[in-house]
Amino acid sequence: MLFTSYAFIGFLCAGLILYRLAPVKVRPYILLALSYYFYAHAGLWCVILIVSTSIVAYVVTVRMDNMTRARKEFINANKESLSREEIKDYKAKDKKRRKLVLVCGLILTLGLLTVVKYTDFTIANINSLLDLVGCDSKLGFLNIIMPMGISFYIFGTVGYMIDVYREAVQPTHNPFHTALFISFFPQLVQGPISRYGDIKDDLLSPKPLKSDSLKLGAMRILWGFAKKLIIADRALVAVKAITGDPGTCSGAYVVAGMALYALELYADFTGGIDITIGAAQMFGIGVKENFVRPYFSKNVAEYWRRWHITMGTWFADYVFYPLSSSRFMRKVSGTLKKSKLPRRAAQRIPVYITSAVVWFATGLWHGASWNFILWGMLNFAVIMISQELEPLYAKFHSRFDRRITCRRGEDKKLRMRFEKLSLQERMSRAPYKAFAATRTIIILSCLRMLDCYGNVGITFKAFGSIFTSIFSGGTPSGDAVSGITTGFSAFFDGSMMTLGLTGYDYLILLVGMLTLFAVSMIQRKGSVRERLFALPFAVRAALMIALFTAVILFGAYGPGYDVGQFIYNRF
Amino acid sequence: MEEYLDTIKQIITDLHPELDDGDRDGLVTDGILDSYDIITIITQIADEFDAVITADRITPETFDSAQSIAELVDEILNG
């Protein structure tokens, strides 16, 4: 069931009526039934997998919690007779036993994800290796259908189990509540990856609904629809045309594709999350924000702290920190410190090794193919290089960054001075921020080509064509016949109109982009919806009607448009 | 705990010379320390005090100030 379908709107309305009419205590069960009804549209196979995951999560978390309780009771009962060392020893043994339970849970859940998502990828690589050694026999593909949202709910489940193991949260002993946390329907399409501790109160112990939650939620959904239908699905047409014919659409087209994909991906993913957060809010459930104006980031590392935040923090908390502080990495770090390496290098290498592992996993999480793995490793390389060059940047800026000031001297004459800027001053200057944000967008657009084309060879060829076609005037062989140019002139001679979009479409995209930028600027000072709420009713209503009309009039649907699923849904 | 505090402040100012001293709140919540910095602090604490900070103790609250980090080290070493 697509978020942007009439079926979903009908389902949401009916669900809200049921939920609001039901007694507060029954509401989690209504929500569970709604979630399973929603997910059943993806197929019985998907339901079987999510039920299996829920059973594993329930058994593992309850078992760990029972062990923790038994330990606490035992220590409390024998506090006086046990020495400090004995208590420590008992705690360590209990931790070991709980770890065993956790590991079983992790093997089952992550194993399920691995089998479903990565079996055919592994078979393809084995077949390539067999080819290399000249072996004729091949393994057959299993063609397993990947269930919708499996990467998201498995990660949510894994986080929940680890948090219970760490005693950071108290698990529920109600299996239906566990199932609801894992299957809460707005999050099944494309996340965010919620933490049990953040969402459990709203989800499992609902309070009487606030009157504003319905209006605020509906507003957020409408904004998400506008982003997805007016911008993302419109830009998708041109992106598909460019990536679908990389032989013809080279040079300037690749640049256009990069820019349009940057816009499409932002509108698509943030629009989808707007619908998720809005739908959850209508049920009185607060879901964490997944973005904080990511295109305003000054570097790639900052971008990843502001884009798909719940995934970034998941990898940080459950992979990066445990791996960095593991006994193995401490050993590596100790060995490096004893070597002749400089101190800074000895400190940084273990962190970078862990970081490389995390980025490899991030790439693999996005998709079972080499283009995603390379994409992850390139992100790592960019972040690592910029971290290592930081002292050099600081040196450069301390030498060249100056502020020109004019002051009157004692003789009352104006004197011009070049004053040094501090790092903080430089970073807070608007031109520097704009430059740094543009640089980040360009770097990320280059990296995203791997995702866009979905093939490493084609991506590099397309990227290379930017330089060969554009700087050589851009009429590769064959193109002269069709009249297509791939040089810079393609931006002005009407060539871009051959991508399935008209001038009217480009105008809508431009206005859409400027609107997104304006909203982001306002957002820096606080919630836009809360500001809207402060306006008189008539103004607020007029704005909402205008947005609704814009979705109806300018939304990309009907003949010539492909109402697509959300990009992150395939992950 | 005071015996750890000065060293931790020093580690923080080595990582971020732009801070006048390492004695301020909001190190994580204000985005001063990133994950790389946190791991560097953990490694140096292990070197200096022989205190092993495990992943389950790494939270934004514990790394938000030199004081909270010192409290964590104290808790690990003196239980």
- Say if CB B41 and CB B63 are below 8 A apart: yes
A325/B39 CB distance under 8 A: yes
- Say if CB A452 and CB A257 are below 8 A apart: yes
Q: Which domains, from first to last, does chain B contain?
A: 2-78 (1.10.1200.10)
What six digits make up the tokens of B10? 């020093």
Helix (H/G/I), strand (E/B), else coil: A494: coil
From chain A, the residues in CB contact with B39 under 8 A are: 320-321, 324-325, 350-351, 354
* Concatenated DSSP letters of A252-263: HHHHHHHHHHHH
> What would the pLDDT profile of B24-52 be if each residue is shown by its tens digit?
888 888 888 888 888 888 888 888 888 88
Quick one: pLDDT at residue A137?
Answer: 84
Quick one: pLDDT at residue A306?
Answer: 94
A351/B55 CB distance under 8 A: no
From chain B, the residues in CB contact with A167 under 8 A are: 56
A324 touching B, CB under 8 A? yes
- Least confident window among A300-314, A556-570, B27-41: A556-570
Cα distance between residue A379 and residue A297, in whole Å: 15
Quick one: pLDDT at residue A183?
Answer: 96
Q: What would the mean pLDDT of B8-20 be, rounded to a whole number?
A: 85
CB-count exposure of residue A339 (10 Å: 0-12, 13-18, 19+) = exposed
What six digits make up the tokens of B76? 């690990």
User: Is A480's pLDDT higher than 60?
Assistant: no
Q: What would the mean pLDDT of A401-408 be, rounded to a whole number?
A: 66
Quick one: pLDDT at residue A560?
Answer: 59
Mutate to test the interface with A, among B32, B35, B47 (most CBs of A within 10 A): B35
User: Is A90's pLDDT higher than 70?
Assistant: yes
> What would the pLDDT profile of A40-55 be if each residue is shown by its tens digit?
998 999 999 999 999 9
Please enumerate in sequence order all residues whose Cβ is within 8 A of that of A457, keeping only pairs 6 or more positions apart, or say none.
none
Which of A542 and A79 is assigned the larger pLDDT? A542
Quick one: pLDDT at residue A475?
Answer: 54
- Say if CB A186 and CB A345 are below 8 A apart: no
Please enumerate in sequence order all residues whose Cβ is within 8 A of that of B64, keeping only pairs 6 or more positions apart, or say none.
B25, B26, B27, B28, B29
A354/B39 CB distance under 8 A: yes
What does R_g of chain B's alpha carbons equal in angstroms?
11
Instruction: Give me the half-sphere count of Cα atoms (radius 13 Å) on the Cβ side of residue A141.
Output: 10
A422/B18 CB distance under 8 A: yes
Helix (H/G/I), strand (E/B), else coil: A339: coil
Residues of B with CB under 8 A from a CB of A: 18, 31, 34-36, 38-40, 42-44, 46-47, 52-56, 58, 79
> What would the pLDDT profile of A188-215 be if each residue is shown by its tens digit?
988 899 999 999 999 998 888 887 889 8
Q: What would the mean pLDDT of A150-167 be, rounded to a whole number?
A: 96
- Least confident window among A45-54, A270-279, A339-348: A339-348
Q: Choose among B34, B40, B58: nearest Cβ to A301.
A: B34
Quick one: pLDDT at residue A14?
Answer: 96
The dihedral region occupied by A134, where left means phi > 0, alpha psi between -120 and 50, and beta the remainder, is left
Q: What would the mean pLDDT of A106-130 be, rounded to a whole number?
A: 94
Identity (one letter) of the amino acid at A133? V
Identify which of A16, A565, A51, A458 has the alpha carbon closest to the alpha carbon of residue A281: A16
Q: What would the mean pLDDT of A519-534 be, rounded to a whole number?
A: 88
User: Is A115's pLDDT higher than 60?
Assistant: yes
- Say if CB A179 and CB A51 are below 8 A apart: yes
CB-count exposure of residue A358 (10 Å: 0-12, 13-18, 19+) = buried
- Say if CB A213 and CB A281 are below 8 A apart: yes
Q: Choose among A88, A166, A423: nearest Cβ to B18.
A: A423
Compute the mean pLDDT over every residue in chain A, rounded to the nearest whole number: 88
* Concatenated DSSP letters of A401-422: -EEEEEEE-TTS-EEEEEEEPP
A168 touching B, CB under 8 A? yes
A351/B39 CB distance under 8 A: yes
User: Is A511's pLDDT higher than 50?
Assistant: yes
Quick one: pLDDT at residue A187?
Answer: 94
- Say if CB A455 and CB A462 are below 8 A apart: no
Quick one: pLDDT at residue B46?
Answer: 86
Quick one: pLDDT at residue A274?
Answer: 95
Residues in chain A: 571
Cα distance between residue A275 and residue A1, in whole Å: 14
- Least confident window among A306-310, A453-457, A528-532: A528-532
User: Is A481's pLDDT higher than 50?
Assistant: no
Q: Choose among A167, A325, A387: nearest Cβ to B42.
A: A325
- Say if CB A443 and CB A262 are below 8 A apart: no
User: Is A281's pLDDT higher than 70?
Assistant: yes
> What would the pLDDT profile of A415-458 be if each residue is shown by its tens digit?
766 666 666 666 667 888 899 999 999 999 999 999 999 999 99
